[in-house]
Amino acid sequence: MKGRLLDRLADAARQLTLPLAGAPPAPPVLRAGHRVIRLAGSFVEYELRRSARRTIGFAIDERGLTVTAPRGVGQAQIDAALAARADWVLRKMQEWRERAQRNARLAVRWEHGGTLPYLGESLLIRIEHGRRAAPRRDGAELWIALAGNVTSAQVRESAQGWLKAQARTLFAERLGHYGATHGIVPRRWALSSARTRWGSCSADGSIRLNWRLVHLPPDVVDYVICHELAHLREMNHGPRFWSEVARLYPDYQHARRRLRAHPGGLAMSQE
């Protein structure tokens, strides 16, 4: 009798350690300066910032949700604004999670046998042990000669140096092509390593092109170059700007869609 009673008590104790069916998920452990709200049954962590703005603003990126509110707005108003935008917030956060997972799958393995996207195709990384030398391409393979105990950082540095050299040569050739055929030439140009932009144009007539463009197909590279060249005529994104893009690159809409749909984006070869 005593043994059966102890068994029942032990079973009850084990059951108390299990989550109850239908119980809400536990809120996350918050980082410093962050808050949490429950939206549509999900706990959402966010960073709250105060500013002189007049309305409550929301921004979602790889770091998560940021809420910027006027200094005089109370927490109840912030919660109400978040609840009103719950569907948008949850959808955008899911999109960023999927993007992070996609980028993780596409991340380059800087090692023998890894693959590197180059002009819309893939190059197989091959490591030669011995004397260090400049990388060389042999068909669909990129041979990297390194000395000593080779690390992934060394492979990345060597491969990216090669990619930047290819970018510099390719961009110069394409800029020369459009300058000769359309008479539009930047005052100067340079490679960029920006994290969020494929290219940029300054009011002084100079442009910058992200070296990571060499990961993408040639038509997409041409579109980005023509996009920045068009800004030399129109420093905006109005109808006249897009007319200039179309003059330089008539099939720009197709390339633009490909750029937007590209799965890797700027994360393909991050340092």
| Interval 1-29: pLDDT, tens | 545 544 553 443 333 333 334 445 555 56
pLDDT of residue 189: 97
| 3-state DSSP of 64-94 | EEEEEEECCCCHHHHHHHHHHCHHHHHHHHH
Residue at 7 is within a domain: no
Domain co-membership, 73 together with 194? no
pLDDT of residue 6: 41
**Number of domain units in the chain:** 2
Burial tier of 231 (Cβ tally within 10 Å: 0-12, 13-18, 19+): buried
- Whether 248 and 230 have beta carbons less than 8 Å apart is answered as yes
The closest alpha carbon to 146, from 124, 161, 129, 162, belongs to 129
pLDDT of residue 30: 66
Residue at 36 is within a domain: yes
Residue at 217 is within a domain: yes
Give DSSP secondary structure letters for 25-66.
Answer: PPPPPPPTTEEEEEETTEEEEEEEEEES-SS-EEEEETTEEE
Domain co-membership, 81 together with 173? no
Distance CA 211, CA 194 (A): 9
Domain co-membership, 258 together with 130? yes
pLDDT in single tens digits along all 271 residues of the chain: 545 544 553 443 333 333 334 445 555 566 767 899 999 988 999 999 999 889 999 999 888 999 999 999 999 999 999 999 999 999 999 988 877 776 666 678 899 999 999 999 999 999 999 888 999 999 999 999 999 889 999 999 999 999 999 999 999 999 999 999 999 999 999 999 988 899 999 999 999 999 999 999 999 999 999 999 999 999 999 999 999 999 999 999 999 998 987 765 565 555 4
Residue at 6 is within a domain: no
Sign (positive or negative) of CA dihedral 226, 227, 232, 238: positive
CATH number at residue 253: 3.30.2010.10
Neighbouring C-alpha atoms within 13 Å toward the C-beta of 35: 14
Domain co-membership, 97 together with 146? no
Distance CA 260, CA 249 (A): 17
Record the pTM.
Answer: 0.66
Domain assignment of residue 216, given as a range: 115-267
Domain co-membership, 99 together with 174? no
Domain co-membership, 254 together with 129? yes
Residue at 3 is within a domain: no
Domain co-membership, 160 together with 73? no
Residue at 215 is within a domain: yes
Q: Which of 71, 105, 139 is the last residue of a domain?
A: 105
Distance CA 213, CA 154 (A): 22
